[in-house]
Amino acid sequence: ATINLEQQFQDRVDQDIRIEPKDWMPDKYRQTLIRQISQHAHSEIVGMLPEGNWITRAPSLRRKATLIAKVQDEAGHGLYLYSAAETLGISRAEMIDQLHTGKAKYSSIFNYPTLTWADIGTIGWLVDGAAIMNQVPLCRTSYGPYARAMVRICKEESFHQRQGFEILLTLSRGSEAQKAMCQDAINRWWWPSIMMFGPADDASPHTAQSMKWKIKRFTNDELRQKFVDICADQVKILGMELPDPELKWNAERGHYDFGKINWEEFWQVISGNGPCNKERIAARVKAHEEGAWVREAATAFATKRAQKQSA
Ligand code: ACO
């Protein structure tokens, strides 16, 4: 009977019929989605930290208001995604516990420090740009609640990407010091940004199955190549350079060739040894502990209200 159910499930996926929470699904499909969606949610939440670092130091009121709004958007994205994951039978408390105890991953990129204001522009351009490249196809992912959450997230991400590029454009037309700051931030964020797409396809344990289930619509390397192609052109508008001497248009392939990624660095960062991993988790745990009284008060209030309504 299981074989039949699995075949029916795969047939639905092949016909692009969305899978919904109450539908039968293979346990591995459920577990893969819980892993990916919760990792994605954690990334949005942890991703607030490097940028939050610059809210008090944004160079103008307009920049400060925009940055606050953007960081709030990330919190919202985390909440939609936790809700999408909860439809698969895991609680938010469990997911948060997995993050705090180091069992669940979050994106490698958020373990790098934000040293100057230009880093905020670069995060918008490159990090949110990479996020969009990965997330637009997820609007067509096979699991309904995840796909629907991605629609609004992508709209907001594209605003984030443009605000970042505009910060860099302003710096790139500024003083020599501002131009140098802009180039320095691009130099530091470029390689970590292209690592965001995950390991190369031949080193990615989950890609083949996730493609079959249409959780993923493109492989890690396919998305990375599209991203490199776009950035190689956009960087020219800034009059800056990507820090890769091997970056070169390949007319035969119709793509840019690019240099070798330092995978050792990637594996180190995702196993907890990046420049800011410990700091990031410590900040999340502290915020969670200091927020305990808010959760308790909200629960007490909800219980009281429920009692009143049933009385
Ligand atoms: N950072 C941290 N971990 C990563 C990263 C990364 N950039 N890329 C891959 N990994 C992890 C995977 O989670 C997996 O770990 P696990 O087996 O211990 O769970 C392992 O490395 C192997 O990678 P893959 O087999 O390629 O895993 P997967 O099929 O899940 O692909 C990917 C990884 C592309 C990140 C996928 O999970 C995905 O598309 N996720 C949704 C998007 C997302 O999470 N974006 C977050 C950053 S964007 C933002 O928040 C602004």
Give pLDDT tens digits for 205-263. Answer: 999 999 999 999 999 999 999 999 999 999 999 999 999 999 999 999 999 999 999 99
DSSP string across 109-142: GGGS---SHHHHHHIIIIIHHHHHHHHTGGGG-S
**For residue 226, what are the CA distances in angstroms to 106, 128, 134, 233, 255?**
23, 14, 10, 11, 8
**For residue 271, what are the CA distances in angstroms to 42, 105, 199, 221, 276?**
15, 8, 13, 21, 12
pLDDT band, residue 1 (cuts 50/70/90): low
Kindly give the distance from the C-alpha atom of residue 37 to the centroid of ligand 1, in angstroms, as a whole number: 10
Give the Cβ contact number of residue 37 at 10 Å. 28
Ligand 1 atom index nearest CA of 205: 25
Helix (H, G, I), strand (E, B) or coil at 143: strand
Span 266-280, average pLDDT: 97
Kindly give the distance from the C-alpha atom of residue 221 to the centroid of ligand 1, in angstroms, as a whole number: 13
Question: Is the CB of 40 inside a 6 Å radius of any atom of ligand 1?
Answer: yes
pLDDT tens per residue across span 78-119: 999 999 999 999 999 999 999 999 999 999 999 999 999 999
- State the chain's mean pLDDT as an integer: 97
pLDDT band, residue 3 (cuts 50/70/90): confident
Contacts for 75 with CB less than 8 Å, ≥ 6 apart? 44, 45, 48
Q: Pocket of ligand 1, candidates 204, 266, 269: which has the most ligand atoms within 8 Å of its Cβ, to mutate?
A: 204
Ligand 1 atom index nearest CA of 204: 25
Q: Which residue, by CA, sits nearest to atom 44 of ligand 1? A: 40
Helix (H, G, I), strand (E, B) or coil at 146: helix
Entry pTM: 0.96
Helix (H, G, I), strand (E, B) or coil at 256: strand
Angle between helices 144-172 and 128-135 (to 10 degrees): 150
Q: Quick one: pLDDT at residue 311?
A: 80
Instruction: Give CA–CA dist 57/283, Å, rounded.
Output: 19
Residue 2 clears pLDDT 70, i.e. is over it: no
pLDDT tens per residue across span 35-85: 999 999 999 999 999 999 999 999 999 999 999 999 999 999 999 999 999
Ligand 1 atom index nearest CA of 135: 42
Q: Quick one: pLDDT at residue 148?
A: 97
Question: Is the CB of 199 inside a 6 Å radius of any atom of ligand 1?
Answer: yes
Q: Pocket of ligand 1, candidates 95, 120, 127, 206: which has the most ligand atoms within 8 Å of its Cβ, to mutate?
A: 206
